[in-house]
A = this chain, B = another copy of it.
Amino acid sequence: MRDLDLSSLNPVLSSSAAPASAREAVQALRASQIREVANAGFGIADVLPFWFGESDRVTPAFIREAAAQALTRGDTFYTHNLGIAPLRDALSRYVGELHGATPADHIAVTSAGVNALMLAAQLVTGAGERVVAVTPLWPNLVEIPKILGASVETVALDYGARGWALDLDRLLAALRPGTKLLMINSPNNPTGWVMSRDEQRAVLEHCRRHGIWIVADEVYERLYYGAAGERTAPSFLDLASRDERLICVNSFSKAWLMTGWRLGWMVAPRALMDDLGKLVEYNTSCAPSFVQQAGVVALEQGEASTQALVADLRASRDHLAAALAQLPGVDVKVPQGAMYLFFRLAGAQHSLELCKALVREAGLGLAPGSAFGPEGEGFVRWCYACDPERLDAGVARLTRYLA
């Protein structure tokens, strides 16, 4: 058989001779440019990393202890697909306090915020459908629908004197009839842009008119630097009923410093929950039981910790922005949300190459703006979720590099 040229006989048989590879749609998914930059620094011991979307602080001890206690109790069994009742109830109280009544049967616990985004996409969109996303944006929202065979059109924020801003008319024009889904992330990673209440209202009304689903990634809602007493950024949940075409995704990662726990949730119409339960079963079946128990404690005892974190992040943001503003070639605006400065840097027209050079030559780890879409080119992202001394050390490295 080996001597036959099978490809000339049968095109199906010839496929067996080709090396194994993933399907083309998966090969075409974007790889992380942040990882590419990190790889460029491989072997360099002294790197200050500000490239990932993660604080350098460990999860608060009372949350870690709650998980350890659940393990000691023997809480190691499967849970309900949609999450344990105490966690869904605690989320119902938490979300309800921030955004109005949200019964527990509208809430599903997920294996991370990104898992909630994947589940939301699976719920409402599939092959051949049209999805719109607002960019610059962390790649996941743009790539997830493509895994399901949908096509994604992006609408770029504009960068101007006041930072990143939404051209509402352009977004509404892109949300033409027949669009299945809008994916939108506010407060936004990477820009820190926060969608206003009026913008949310206009988008919601437009999507209602045309039957377009909204999947709102509101993972950074608590990392919001508004007026005193404002605990959260504007949320679609403030405006919408709980039974319309809106899925709001959230996570324990940012506000409770639980990145490595992979625990998230979503709020969705009650009519979807049975179907969502099936999808959870077929994706991860449930989040780990003792992780869910820790989530209950995070919600019930974590408010002071979250508020202290946000105060620290605000101070870090202002500290870093003030320092960067002194540097030549830096154009930095101070956004109202998330935990990043996404700033224009002279010489960053090829931000991927610049960031590789920064890690190799200056030991400074930043994320290239192009990682978040072509409209991010010319910018770099700096995660400021660390103490001011560490930020100062990073600024000193950037200063030396630019000099």
Contact = CB atoms under 8 A, between A and B. Distances in A.
A66 to B, nearest CB: 10
B149 A274 contact: no
A350 interface: no
A302 interface: no
A209 interface: yes
Contacts of A75: 260
Nearest to A292: B260
A74 B68 CA distance: 12
A185 interface: no
Given A71-B67, A143-B278, A288-B291, A76 B21 contact: no
28 contacts: A12-B211, A13-B209, A16-B208, A16-B211, A29-B279, A29-B282, A52-B78, A54-B77, A58-B74, A59-B74, A59-B76, A67-B67, A67-B71, A67-B290, A111-B115, A118-B282, A122-B147, A126-B127, A126-B149, A127-B128, A140-B282, A143-B278, A147-B282, A260-B286, A260-B288, A260-B290, A262-B286, A284-B284
Contacts of A262: 111, 284-288
A20 B271 contact: yes
A32 B128 CA distance: 29
Interface in A328-376: none
Contacts of A211: 12-13, 15-16, 18
Q: How many copies does the complex hold?
A: 2
A271 B21 contact: yes
A403 interface: no
A149 to B, nearest CB: 5
A277 to B, nearest CB: 8
Given A243-B19, A262-B284, A286-B262, A275 B26 contact: yes
A123 B18 contact: no
A79 interface: yes
A210 interface: yes
Contact of A26 (B25, B29, B54, B122): B122
Contacts of A115: 111, 283-284
Interface in A98-136: 111-112, 114-115, 118, 122-128
A302 B64 CA distance: 24
B20 A269 contact: yes
A147 B12 contact: no
A123 B76 contact: no
Nearest to A260: B289
Contacts of A114: 281-285
Contacts of A23: 123-126
Given A26-B122, A71-B67, A278-B29, A76 B245 contact: no
Contacts of A275: 21-22, 26-27, 29
Contacts of A79: 260
A278 B30 contact: yes
A259 B178 contact: no
B76 A260 contact: yes
Nearest to A117: B282
Contacts of A283: 114-115, 118, 283
Contacts of A276: 22
Interface in A1-41: 10, 12-13, 15-16, 18-23, 25-27, 29-32
Given A115-B283, A261-B76, A285-B262, A177 B26 contact: no
A123 B12 contact: no
Contact of A16 (B52, B118, B143, B209): B209
A94 to B, nearest CB: 21
A244 interface: yes
